[in-house]
Amino acid sequence: MSSSILLVCATIYFAILFFIASSVNKDRFRISRIISPANVYVLSLAVYCTAWTFFGSVGNASKTGIGFLPVYLGPTIFFPLIIIVWLKILRICKEYRITNIADFISSRYGHSNYLGVLVTIFYIIGIIPYISLQLKAIGLCLITFTNYNAPSKINVNDSVFYFSLILIVFTILYGARNIDASEKHKGLIAAISFESIVKLFGFILVGLYVSFYIFSSPFDIFSQYQTAQLTNVLPNIFQNQFNGVSWLFVMIISALSMILLPRQFQVAIVENTNESHLNKALWMFPLYLFLINIFVIPIAIGGLLKFGNHIDPDTFVLAFPISTGNLWLTLIVFLGGLSAATGMVIVETISLSTMLSNNLVIPTFISKKLISEDRGINPQSLVVLSRRFGITIIIIGAYFFEKYVAEKVSLISIGLISFAAVSQLAPALIGGLYWRKATKKAASASILVGFFVWLFTLIFPTLDGFSPEITSIIKNGLFGIEWLKPTSLFYFSDLDKLSHGIFWSLLLNIITFVGVSIYTERDTEEIIQSEAFVKIHSNNKSQIATLIKNEIIVKDLMYIFKVFFGEERGENLIKNYFTKNNIPYIEKALTPPLLVNYSEKLLAGAIGPIATKMVIANIANQQPISMNEVLDILKENQQTIQLNKELKKKSAELGKATEELKLANEQLTLLDEQKDEFLYTVTHELRTPLTSIRALSEVLFDNPDLGETEREKYLGVIIKETERMTHLITQVLNLEKYDSGKQQLNLKTCDLVAMITEIEQSFSTILKNKNIAFEKIIPNNMFLARIDKELIEQLLYNLFSNAIKFSKSKITIRFIENYNEVIISVIDDGVGIQDNQKGLIFDKFYQIKNKKLQKPDGSGLGLAISKKIIELHNRKIWVENNTPNGAIFSFSLELI
């Protein structure tokens, strides 16, 4: 198998990426039909997993065991906090159309041109080595492949160069086509998400291949490794590899990198189309990190067992399928690694090129007055070309760094050093988000201090041997001062080199940021910007129109828009604003303040906030705003916020009152319906005995010659029906007394067992006549409870009456003691109760049909009264079916 096969496959793969990006951009293919936008967003976040993850984690694990984990544990553990910071940054960037971190930091600190340039240069220095790491990974793939095959005519360095050229073309086509950098690159993000799937699939596939094909199982890998340790064939990579302090520092810079890496800012903030996607990311992104690392240890140990120290551990992932001659798996793994590398390079380069254009190129051309049609320089073309030029310079620079420097450093070393570099921006960015009094002087000073300490403590030690001077500084300290040694600054040598560098760079960075902020003042522009950024979550909709007293003629603003957005689009943007806000369009009139604010946001999305400030300044008659005027603006702004809060509070109270009124009305309607139903049922129940009494009375009246036997029979029925009426009326009155809360409990200490015995005696005749057996299951001779004896007796009477009514042959009374309460159950062996009746059986007048009777016996109030009685005792009553048939009515009482 020739190395050229890999290049052909890579070319086909890039063609697929081109097709995906192009199809999505032109809406020929809607990716949402296959995968939701939220999932696409989360997969794009996985650009965090680069060649460092795909190849370097295995290499690191082969030396340090689980030492690779902190890079992924940091983002996972701190991800909820990262989401909170992202949400605030996202709202700020959407409000002010900010497209990169350099613009964000410069905007926060009063649109500081110096700070924007500083951050841009810092990122380019810190990230180019990281980009070179990806190119190095591609080179490692080709070298590994070549070493396992016949010598190839293709030079590895030439191949990496060709890959670099392809990346430049792809990035330019899908990341630098439009002037407005705030526009979403939906085609590019679709391609990046596809690459995230490919690299995850590739890594898991090779993990399964190693774990279950090369070896019989992961347990087999560990078993063989343990044997190799005992025979001293391989060292113990898990011995003394856990360093809590080192892990903590790596976790911190890894978590900070999720916020501060340009590529993460691009996909998480600039490309976000819906804030709700962050909710999906909260669990799905940590899951992705878990899945892509699940086979790292088995591959690393398997690689040591199979290859020993004969090949670079960073190449174990690719070496397994190559060594076994598995062509298809080799190609899949190669494409997975290629996806991990190219995804990072593309997104990182787009963000860096935008920084370069917005903070260096465009401001320089504007300040030198080089942008004009007379000079033959088209502003739109300049913006796009500057970004394309930046993409080219950055990738070519990374290629040369990889060719001459990176080959001497491992993937992990380059990655962690770059993470430590971007972490130096944390105080300026995160501090500026939450602390209003942070100043641009403090931000600049802290970044410079952090950068030089990072350079001195982390970069210098890697250059040992490059020159005698550098070697001397490393061994003897700067200027020969021992406490200025790069690896033991201020005599502090208790940490490893990486932790030492992170500790001192961040510590001195933070001290500088806080100290300088305390001892320096903010200018007027900083004050306004700090208020706008720190309070972005407030519901205040008022806007501070501008930081300077701008007197801009509408015609001049129109000219600027036509220059940067084109004749047609520029004119439409301005005129649409006038139409939408019902303002007459007059070319020679002064531009409304809010239109100036609107224009600044649109221009910022195209050329950045610094260049926008310079452009507006060139066409405006400016007068700096006074401090008193700034304070008046902020005071008015604060009053508006307070008014909005009060209005929101009143609206919430009104909404709550409306809801309560609606609920009360629904309850009254329900009560009215219940009242009508209750009256209808009571009158119906009274009408039945009254009808019998009247009919029988008429018979007696109309037939005075009836025999004595017949007369007694009819009078007996009349008396029975009268008693039935009296009982019904008594029950209705009792129920009304329970419902109204007028019933007072007469609590006494009673023996529940004795009470059951009394009730048994009162029902003994009925039980005997009906041939129903009675059983008691009572574990103790006495159960004492403080109850209203008469009411509980009535409750038991109702339950016994129901049991006798439906029972076939046996009734059981059962006591179950449960801590400080007793559960009393009355059990029959009747037909039981259907599930759909259990929720209704304690309602008023609800009756279950008794097949032994032609109509239901009783008033239907007994169980409703029983429920009220037990509720007065603050206990519960319930029903369940007996097995195999019958019903169990149970209630609980508190024991003393």
pLDDT of the residue at 547:
45
CA distance linking residue 736 with residue 745, whole number of Å? 15
For 801-825, b/e burial (b = at least 16 CB within 10 A) is ebbbbbbeeebbbbbeeeeeebbbb
How far, CA to CA in Å, does 632 sit from each of 195, 548, 549, 629, 645?
A: 52, 14, 14, 5, 20
The dihedral built from the CA positions of residue 319, 321, 327 and 332, taken in this order, carries a sign that is: negative
**Domain at 863, CATH number:** 3.30.565.10
Please name the residue that has the structure tokens 């007369």. 711
- Of residues 167, 131, 151, 140, the one with CA closest to residue 10: 167
Q: Is residue 619 domain-shared with residue 636, that is, in the same domain?
A: no
pLDDT tens for each residue of 505-544: 999 999 999 999 999 988 877 887 888 888 886 644 444 4
Claim to verify: residue 59 and residue 173 sit in the same structural domain: yes
Distance CA 497, CA 509 (A): 18
Q: What per-residue confidence (pLDDT) applies to 764?
A: 82
- Together in a domain, 669 and 801: no
Residue 749's Cβ-count burial label (10 Å; 0-12, 13-18, 19+) is: exposed
- Judge whether 128 lies within some domain: yes
C-alpha dihedral (192, 59, 9, 271), degrees to nearest 10: 10
Residue 667 in domain = yes
620 and 634 share one domain: no
615/716 same-domain check: no
Asked which of 625, 654, 682 is the last residue of a domain, the reply is: 625
Look at residues 349, 315, 347 and name the one whose alpha carbon lies nearest to residue 334: 315
Residue 365 and residue 879: Cα distance in Å, rounded? Answer: 86
User: b/e per residue, 588-614, with b = 16+ CB within 10 A?
Assistant: eeebbebbbbbbbbbbbbbbbbbbbbb
Whether 508 is covered by a domain: the verdict is no
**Cβ atoms within 10 Å of 671's Cβ, excluding its own:** 11
Query: In the numeric block, which tokens belong to residue 393?
Result: 């310079």
User: Is 706 among the domain residues?
Assistant: yes
DSSP SS3 for 308: coil
The DSSP 8-state label assigned to residue 748 in this structure reads E
Residue 524 inside a domain? The answer is no
Residue 481, class by beta-carbon neighbours within 10 Å (0-12 exposed, 13-18 middle, 19+ buried)? exposed
* Rounded CA separation 64/608 (Å): 44
Structure tokens at 46: 């996985």
Residue 347 shares a structural domain with residue 394: yes
- Same domain for 720 and 809? no
Residue type, 452: F
In a domain, residue 876? The reply is yes
Same domain, yes or no, for 703 and 775? no
One domain, residues 332 and 183:
yes
What is the phi/psi pair of residue 787, to 5°? -140, 170
Number of folded domains that form the chain: 4
661 Cβ neighbours under 8 A, 6+ residues apart: none
Q: How far apart are CA 801 and CA 198, in angstroms?
A: 74
Interatomic CA distance for residues 830 and 884, integer angstroms: 10
CB 160 within 8 A of CB 399: yes
pLDDT at 279: 92
Three-state SS sequence of 362-424: HHHHHHCCCCCCCCCCCHHHHHHHHHHHHHHHHHHHHHHHHHHCHHHCCHHHHHHHHHHHHHH
Domain range for 646 is 629-736
Alpha-carbon span 252 to 351, nearest angstrom: 23
Helix (H/G/I), strand (E/B), else coil: 737: helix
Q: Name the nearest CA neighbour of 344 among 56, 22, 19.
A: 56
DSSP type of residue 358 = I
Please give the pLDDT value at position 548: 46
Compute the distance between CA of residue 311 and CA of residue 780 in angstroms, rounded to an integer: 81
Please state, in angstroms and rounded to a whole number, the distance separating the CA atoms of residues 215 and 758.
79
Compute the distance between CA of residue 867 and CA of residue 889 in angstroms, rounded to an integer. 11
Low-confidence ranges of the chain (pLDDT < 70): 1-3, 27-33, 146-158, 175-183, 240-242, 369-379, 405-413, 465, 537-551, 593, 618-645, 671, 674-682, 684-689, 724, 727-728, 731, 734-743, 844-860
Give the torsion sign (CA, 690, 693, 695, 697). negative
CA distances from 748 to 207, 742, 788, 892 (A): 75, 19, 6, 17
Q: Is the dihedral of CA 586, 591, 593, 597 positive or negative?
A: positive
Which two three-digit tokens encode residue 133?
């790491």
* Amino acid code (one letter) for 18: F
Q: Are residues 155 and 221 in the same domain?
A: yes
Residues 6+ apart with CB under 8 A from 359: 102, 103, 106, 113, 116, 117, 119, 120, 608, 610
The closest alpha carbon to 692, from 724, 669, 727, 731, belongs to 724
Torsion angles phi and psi, residue 7, rounded to 5: -65, -40
Closest to 61 in 3D by CA, of 304, 230, 255, 291? 304
| Phi–psi pair at 328, nearest 5 degrees | -65, -45
**What are the backbone dihedrals phi and psi of residue 239, each rounded to the nearest 5 degrees, phi first?**
-85, 125
Region of residue 376 (phi > 0: left; psi between -120 and 50: alpha; otherwise: beta): left
φ, ψ for residue 875, nearest 5 deg: -125, -175
Domain boundary among 736, 766, 792: 736
- The dihedral sign for the CA sequence 339, 340, 342, 347: positive
pLDDT at 154: 47
Q: Within 26-152, where are the H helices?
A: 37-45, 51, 57-64, 70-77, 79-96, 101-108, 113-147
Residue pair 528/108 in contact (Cβ under 8 Å)? The answer is: no
Look at residue 27 in the predicted model and tell me its pLDDT.
66
Query: Which of 17, 244, 254, 54 is closest to 136 using CA atoms?
Result: 54
Do 864 and 796 have their domain in common?
yes
Are 313 and 62 within 8 A, CB to CB?
yes
Q: Output Rg (C-alpha) for the chain, integer angstroms.
A: 42
**CATH classification of the domain holding 720:** 1.10.287.130
Cα distances from 739 to residues 684, 732, 743, 844, in angstroms, run 21, 11, 9, 12
| 445 in a structural domain | no
Find out whether 10 and 163 touch, Cβ atoms under 8 Å: yes
Domain end: 376, 395, 412, which one? 412
User: d(Cα 585, Cα 885) in Å, to the nearest integer?
Assistant: 87
State whether 224 and 126 are in the same domain: yes
DSSP state of 814: E
Could you tell me if residue 860 is inside a domain?
yes
Contacts of 531 (CB under 8 A, 6+ apart): 436, 634, 637
| Contact of 352 with 394, CB cutoff 8 Å | yes
Question: Which residues, other chains included, contact 167 with Cβ-Cβ below 8 Å and sequence gap of 6+?
Answer: 342, 345, 346, 349, 395
